[in-house]
Chain A
Amino acid sequence: MRFFPHTESDIRAMLDTIGARGLDDLIAHVPASLRASAAINLAPGKNEAEIVAELGSLAARNTGASAFASFLGFGAYRHHVPAAVRAITARAEFATSYTPYQPEASQGTTEAIFEFQTMITQLTGLEVANASMYDGASATAEAVLMAHRVAPKRKRVALARALWPDYRDTVRTYLSALEHLELVEVPFDPQSGATDLAALERIADDRLLCSVIGYPNAFGIVEPLGEAAALTRRAGAIAIAVTAEPLALGLLKSPGELGADIAVGEGQSFGLAPQFGGPGVGFMAARMAHLRQMPGRLVGETHDRFGRRAWCLTLATREQHIRRERATSNICTNHSLCALAATVYLAMMGRRGLRELASRNVELAHRAAATLASAGICARFGAPFFNEFVVNAGDAAAALARAERATILAGLALDSYWPELGGALLVSVTEMNTQSEFDRLAGALAGVN
């Protein structure tokens, strides 16, 4: 096995030092009955060429990865990843290091995390961001738990129905042991596709713990976050904004500016391939007043013995390895290398580039919507949208099948998640899509070939 360095003489010498006759002597104390049945019934090891062939043929069977024009989004997005991102994240100094518990040996990782934290605060308009969470859905659940620590007496969690079903389900699972908390769904307006503010207002009282609103929401709609946050905060509750397409934060007013107390989301759009859904990277930002209730790692600035600037993990007294059962979260390993990818990506895009790219996404998505509309495929909702929109596709399943025959993944039928949205199709557009794809999409959905 090419990963093992042990020669016969190494093994002999090491066993001699230990005072053992053979390798099996070293495990002789493990109960014999367990050892007797421990054989692993898997094929013998394969060589590199065999593995490349085997996994390569599996990869080739995923024809949806590259053989289609794709309009799939819904929380995972196809954006161009600059070569610089992969070149950096492939560096073994980053990829094969551990959580930076020894700051002197981890200044590369810690400085990059400090930069990630800074850029997340800049994008969200909030004051403190952590080193990353697993993904957008679990970050949302952690945000609700954090709100619960900030306001432990309040019981009611208002979840927008226009949030991604995965996010709502994840919150439900994380809260399943906190039986005194009540989940309330805030409906969306069937005309606009935005969260029904009047419905939110009706539950905005002293029982409300937090509101959780997508920004943009699962339909791509730019929610009236400012109004929603104001209603929430007027009731003394915590406003949580959730973003699954973080590119939007390059153009839209920041959640912090609009009054959100906590901004969480998914960072996959920032330099990570879709990878069939993971790993992405969750982010979380909040106000300094809530710092001690934040979950996850934080990197802070400090200095070495001679006063030179340095970085290290800090405020660990919130965390599981110190506080154990009283920790703010059980999170340990997070998604550090993915946060590094996002950091490189954002550094490449920069102050102007990110806004330009976000603008291009908006412009292209609206051109796609116009192309579909002129073929008779009309938008379902009236509120402004970012780079995803919902159309009426008639028989959505039939439309998707027609599109697939024309090598187009036309989007996602929404009725299995929202039964009230029969015939609705979510179409996602990024800078990777072209006008000729829009034309083909329009033809396929309209049944014109």
Chain B
Amino acid sequence: MVTTFRLAFVDYAILLIYFASVLGIGFALRRYQRSSADFFLSGRSIPAWVAGLAFLSANLGAQEVIGMAASGAKYGIATSHFYWIGAIPAMVFVGVFMMPFYYGSRARSVPEYLRLRFDEKTRGFNAITFAAMTVFSSGISMYAMGLLLGVLLGWDFNVSVLVSALVVLLYIFAGGLTSAIYNEVLQFCLIVAGFVPLVFLGLRDVGGWAGLSERLAVTATQAGFAPGAYTQSWQHMGSPATNPMGVEWFGLAMGLGFVLSFGYWTTDFLVVQRAMASNSMSAARRTPLIAAFPKMLFPALVILPGMIALALTTQAGESGFTLPTKADGSLNYDLTIPMMLGHYFPSGILGLGLTALMASFMSGMAGNVTAFNTVWTYDIYQAYIKRGASDGHYLWMGRMATVVGITLSVATAYATTQFNNIMDMLQLVFAFVNAPLFATFLLGMFWRRTTGHGAFGGLVAGTLAAALHHGLTLPRGSLAGIKGGWLAGGGDAVLNPYPSEMAQNFWTAIWAWTVCFGVTIAVSLVTRPRPAEELRGLVYSLTERPSDAGAPWYRRPVPLAVLVLGMTLVLNVIFF
């Protein structure tokens, strides 16, 4: 059963210190917001380490933290594939190979890069879908927070949503992107500060890594898997039937490791914006690499608690921790983190843990809002509604877009309470739009023959391919509808029943990417290419390599990248 936390005065005091800090940062930064570049790009003045931590935190919303712990409890250590395969290689790639174009082209956003490289329609397609997606995800994040605080603390949904929206609004309105970035760094520190003691106590309770593996071996055997299924990340990936995730290594490596991961980390403006705000080309390239170091260690903070929770639930520990169950008797994995906080943390540090969660909800919102106001102002308003206005006008529009973006997010949060299905459907549509994107960027940056018509045609075809694949397939045991199969009528008519939803997602992405890649090449070959001089600085073969000779190794992207990949390989070997 879900227990309501009782907060003491000291817990509220810690929360208040946090709220005062974020507002204080916003107001301290207010007087530096003189131009639109200050507001949307932090005046390209952020040092590499700050941009790096923000790059990481922008992706570390509360849903990520809570969701990864839930996956840790569901699938065990295989969840770390989302980090070691599904993030690190793409982060290295964007830093070493793609940042020279993003930062070097002086584009102010990802859609703007698409206009410079291709044409207006490709930019428009990306800008509009991206803007809609950011508003929508920040609304979902607000909704999730309101729901969680209601369950845990008995707080009123309206109060939770409106207060957090107001705080985020105030600090972004005042300090723009810099405010958001600073608060992301703060949030990173809070998550580490809140979760390190949690993992320590959980590990003590379960008897260390040895005790954890021992318990999970029993759990795995009872579930019909090999004893190491929850504690070894690669050994059981030979077939979907032998691991709790229900995927095999090829779908995992191609779908997650290649298409989804590269699609997200290299093209999502939400994260790329952090690197674009850094103070030099070298800093921009190091931003994702610096982020990769904490990223590869994060499984210890977010996945390990999930594994501990599963072990203690199935084989009781001394302190009597168990995961709550849902109405249908299945374990409620999503409550892993909140339940562990409530179980191990007394007043005082409990306030810290809750503050860390709230900070990650709010900075997740803020990240989306800053990406939205930039894309709206530069790629939609300045491009299609009002060209050639003064810079001051666009700065004003940025602030207005912040207000509108947050208002729309709040509306989304309330809409989600009413129409859960529509939200699921929208999320699905956005997944279709995103899946092929990396093929467009890859060809655009590394094959100068790629044309605007090719890129646009490929994107549309890839999106349709994703929808088609989803409509014709279904995870085993699901009903046709939101889970897929809506074109085939479900049941036996489904072309390919996948062993799990995750496997279906990976293969949807693989199909979308492949179709986009093929169609982009085919259309490019029959349309007129742009002259080489127009593509200088936008395409690999026509761009000078940024030189970092003379800097010490830890300030150079390539040695850092080698170090990151080496360490990730070692982690994979240790937990093979």
Whether A associates with B in a native complex is: no
Partner-B contacts on A (CB < 8 A): none
